[in-house]
A and B are shown apart, each in its own frame.
Chain A
Amino acid sequence: MRSLKECRLRPRLQRSLAKKSSRISEIMQAAAQPLSQLLGPLELDAITVADDAGFLPAIQQQKNLPDFIKTGLPQCILVWPILESILVVAADVRRTQTPIRSSKSVCAESSHKSGIGTAALHDAVAQFEHASPSARLWSAAALCRFGVGPLAGGIARNCSNLTGTPPRYLGGYDFESITDS
């Protein structure tokens, strides 16, 4: 059992605000000093993970997180923008009954949102147009096309550890059967 001196009020990410100690003993001692002598300038963290380059490295250093979250979270963050754009294309194709090859405008719009090149996105979905009517398959195939298929598989497994079922946006697709072209 840890002594009171070793206890912290709560875990903190190891940066900016976290540099200030949260050890109970140090805080009790610090209470005797005026705040103006204890405080110094601090930097506000970015308000979203997408804009915070230091978030994932900080998460990796947390001792209280299980490994599957430490490894799965970066993969989710990497894959999500790509998957989101593929799903937008797939949904539009389904709605308009338009062949994927004709969906250049949707690809362009999706590409703009995700930061993936229009041609690369269009090429990725078009290549698998006749492989299956399943939007899920296009998504999985496109992920592999961008070289993140294995990551997506890892996410499916890791997320299922969290919820008991594969995440809805992955639909439980078997990524193991997809190979990079």
Chain B
Amino acid sequence: MESWKVGAQSRKLNLAQVDADPIVGKLTLKDAVEHLKDGLHRLKELAKALEKPTQAAAFGLGMAPQWRLQLDS
């Protein structure tokens, strides 16, 4: 259970899911927000990395799971 504050009120978040993705399932809401903030601040840098991938990255060799923003339109 993750503690969260909505306005002045404290809440407990139960985000457990049996069939959750192994990476997403371990992520707290706080971590998710931090990931998104960081990614949105570095959009230009991240886009450059996508435009010029290294050979290893192009084939996904030796890489840890990667985060990507799924834009909706």
Enumerate chain B residues within 8 angstroms of A48, measured Cβ to Cβ: 6-7
Tell me whether B7 and A81 are in contact (CB under 8 A): yes
Distance between B49 CB and nearest chain A CB, rounded to angstroms: 9
Query: A32 at interface (Cβ–Cβ under 8 A)?
Result: no
With an 8 A cutoff between CB atoms, is A28 at the interface?
Answer: no
Given A41-B41, A113-B9, A36 contacting B73 (CB threshold 8 A): no
Q: How far is the CA of A63 from the CA of B1 in the complex (A)?
A: 40
| A113 and B5 alpha carbons, distance in the complex (Å) | 11
Size class of A's contact patch?
20 to 34
CB neighbours (8 Å) of B6 from chain A are 48, 50-51
Whether the Cβ atoms of B44 and A40 lie closer than 8 Å is yes
B27 CB–A CB distance under 8 Å? no
Shortest Cβ gap from A74 to chain B (Å): 14
Residues of B within 8 A of A35 (CB): 47, 50-51
In the complex, residue of chain A having the shortest beta-carbon distance to the beta carbon of B41:
A41
Nearest CB on A from B44, distance (A): 5
Q: Which residue from chain B places its CB closest to the CB of A40 in the assembled complex?
A: B44
Interface membership of A43, Cβ < 8 A: yes
A164 within 8 A of B: no
Q: Specify the chain A residue showing the minimal Cβ separation from B50.
A: A35
A-B contact pairs, 22 of them (CB 8 A): A9-B73, A22-B73, A35-B47, A35-B51, A36-B44, A39-B43, A39-B44, A41-B40, A41-B41, A41-B43, A41-B44, A42-B41, A42-B43, A44-B33, A44-B37, A44-B40, A47-B33, A50-B6, A81-B7, A114-B8, A114-B9, A115-B8
Residues in B neighbouring A44, C-beta threshold 8 A: 33, 36-37, 40
Which residues of the other chain, A, contact B68 by a CB distance below 8 angstroms?
Answer: none
Whether the Cβ atoms of A10 and B73 lie closer than 8 Å is yes
**From A34, which residue of chain B is reached at the shortest CB distance?**
B51
Please give, as numbers and ranges, the residues of chain A lying within 8 Å of B37 by CB-CB distance. Answer: 43-44
